[in-house]
Amino acid sequence: MLSPAWLASIHHDGSEKYVSVLHPRLGETIRIRLRVAYDAPIHRVILRTFPDGEQAFRLMRQISAESPAQWWEGDLPVTEPVIHYRFLIDSTDGLWHYSAAGPSTFVPLDATDFRILADHQPPEWLGKAVFYQIFPDRFANGDPGNDPRPDEYEYRGQRPKTYPWEAPPDEGQFFPLVFYGGDLPGIASRLDYLADLGVNSIYLNPIFHAYSNHKYDVADYERVDPHFGGNEALAALRTALSARGMRYLLDIVPNHCGYWHPWFQAALADPAAPESEFFTFNRHPDDYATWLGVWVLPKLNYRSHELRRRIYQGPDSVFRRWLRPPYSADGWRVDVANMLGRQGATQIGLEISRGIRQAVKETRPDAYLMGENFFDASGQLQGDQWDGVMNYGGFTHPLWYWLNGYTQGAHGFGETVSAPPWPTEAMAGMWLSRLAVLPWAIALQQYNILDSHDTPRIRSLVGGRDALHRLAVAILLTFPGVPGLYYGDEVGMTDMPGLGARACMIWDEDRQDRSLYEFHKQLIHFRRESTALQRGGFQLLLVEPDTVAYQRESVAERVIVVAHRSETPRPAGPLPVAHGGVADGSRFVDLLTGVEFIIDAGALPLPPMPQGAMILHEANAH
């Protein structure tokens, strides 16, 4: 049977227009609101909760019914740490269940219920954060005196070599030992550039002592690599960041360490050494568990309580130490967080991630704890583990697949699975399905990115097409969550032969795309000023074969984003917005062109739209 048209107007999310208190205390009673078209034939709305495992119903009350929307409101006592709720809508057209997965005639799974977290204390600074990821060796060389030299060490039979900035590496040089001398003093010297761009938070790839350029083969958790300037350089960077009101995250590798870490060397030398239990030896000393079979990355075994003490539980543990002065990191990015504490029959990841969270939040309550996860991370995003993840599954991948086609591989498979660009409904469906299983407070904490050190650069992924690159940036900076840029994307950097996405930052302004830089700067400024983009709700308004539109709304403002991917312009035509609660006469201004639009007959009158994006700001919002 055909669904009635008014179903598209049902909307609720965890934002401030729909939930009176985003972060309530246990025992508090809050108000829940539901919006639907003003002429929807609704008899009553019932709020369904699940206290202590038993279903409960509460009648909601209609508080207004005037074009374009009617509003229903009900009280919700916060009696448990996590409150589940959804709605039953009794109408002339039948009985509908409405959860975060949308309306349905069938009873939805509890997993898609809306959720409120009691006594949840998020890092408040995240709302206005715009991150910038830096791969330290490739960003800026502030002190050539600390550059790696061939006579310093040998690594897997190879020796390090530092090249002149942007010079191509020798064909035979071992990739992990290709250096360019980037360091923490170099980053400190470029903070004015970042401040001008508008970013206010930095995520640093690993900086602890290790022998490779990427430092994921950590050899000492207690020491900043001397080639990056050592501990003193990190303390100095902290001071320089604080002077500009900036924050930073450190990257930690708790799933594995490097082969030359003293813990592993002790375990190799003596199977009775205390550190031997930190690892899994199938046959000592040559057969041991590793990360994905890479012999230089032995996997850490968290069945060891002494390992837990050293990594996160103890008062001087790694996770705690670097959050304290003089380094005072503002949080952690946890490498391969989806694999932590998981090893065949041993599946203690939940215990370990909860333990890490407890240690981090005890040490610094406002720290941002963010994990790496390329897949479905929803089980780790319920308020008791990570604050957020690098949101590949919930944001990045669906956008990639829509812009450039589906491509996926798997370790050891040897080939990729690919398909043409996704239809818009597939991207939208993946976005919504990932949002539906997260508490809204947690959805706002996801680390959204277009690319990273582990992926192609977005400019390369879209084949150098400037309009598509800008479209992607517009979506990044307007989507729910915390936006993160990868160094150099703002000036048009692409993947480089032999270096991929890890090429040297281009500092020559004559070779930078300054128009693209100014575009980023404009959108970042808007993001940092807009309450709708920082904490507003999210609703899809339009899904067409080549076009998607959504709105973000706070109490004070509304933003509508329209993105069109095709080289063929979208023909002029109305964009329906009445189902988004947008009233006739509302005025919107396109942030990018300054053109004004007025809502008429429930629609936004769009002109022909070329490839790219529009960001429409309600000029008379109140």
Q: pLDDT (tens digit, 9 = 90+) per residue, 547-604?
A: 999 999 999 999 999 999 999 999 999 999 999 999 999 999 999 999 999 999 999 9
In a domain, 468, yes or no: no
Tokens of 326: 């003089």
Residues 6+ apart with CB under 8 A from 321: 222, 327
CB atoms within 10 A of CB 272: 6
With 0.85 as the threshold, say if the pTM is over it. Answer: yes
Q: Could you report the per-residue pLDDT of 463-496, keeping only the tens digit for each? A: 999 999 999 999 999 999 999 999 999 999 999 9
| Per-residue pLDDT, 49 | 98
Task: Point out the catalytic residue in the list 147, 183, 372, 387.
Answer: 372
| Per-residue pLDDT, 3 | 84
Its domain, for residue 289, covers 256-299
Q: Residue 63: pLDDT above 50?
A: yes
The yes-or-no answer on residue 508 being catalytic is no
- 14 contacts 442 by C-beta, under 8 angstroms: no
Residues 6+ apart with CB under 8 A from 254: 300, 311, 312, 318, 319, 334, 335, 340, 356
Average pLDDT, the chain: 97
| Per-residue pLDDT, 118 | 98
Q: Residue 411: pLDDT above 80?
A: yes
The yes-or-no answer on residue 335 being catalytic is yes
- 382 contacts 350 by C-beta, under 8 angstroms: no
Q: Could you report the per-residue pLDDT of 274-311, keeping only the tens digit for each? A: 999 999 999 999 999 999 999 999 999 999 999 999 99
Identify the burial level of 93 via C-beta atoms within 10 angstroms of its C-beta, where 0-12 means exposed, 13-18 middle and 19 or more buried: middle
| Per-residue pLDDT, 1 | 54
Helix, strand, coil content of the chain in percent (nearest 5): 30, 30, 45
Q: Residue 40: pLDDT above 90?
A: yes
Categorize the per-residue pLDDT at 157 as very low, low, confident or very high, splitting at 50, 70 and 90: confident
In a domain, 52, yes or no: yes
Residue 600 sits in a domain of what CATH number?
2.60.40.1180
| Per-residue pLDDT, 620 | 62
Q: Which of 299, 327, 362 is the last residue of a domain?
A: 299
In a domain, 266, yes or no: yes
Residue 41 sits in a domain of what CATH number?
2.60.40.10
In a domain, 498, yes or no: no
In a domain, 27, yes or no: yes
Q: Which of 57, 82, 117 is the last residue of a domain?
A: 117
Q: Structurally, how many domains does the chain consist of?
A: 3
In a domain, 96, yes or no: yes
Q: Could you report the per-residue pLDDT of 83-128, keeping only the tens digit for each? A: 999 999 999 999 999 999 999 999 999 999 999 999 999 999 999 9
Strand-pair category, 587-590 with 612-618: antiparallel
In a domain, 585, yes or no: yes
Task: Point out the catalytic residue in the list 147, 183, 225, 335.
Answer: 335
In a domain, 241, yes or no: no
Element at 84 (helix H, strand E): strand 82-91
CB atoms within 10 A of CB 343: 18
Q: Which of 66, 85, 117 is the last residue of a domain?
A: 117
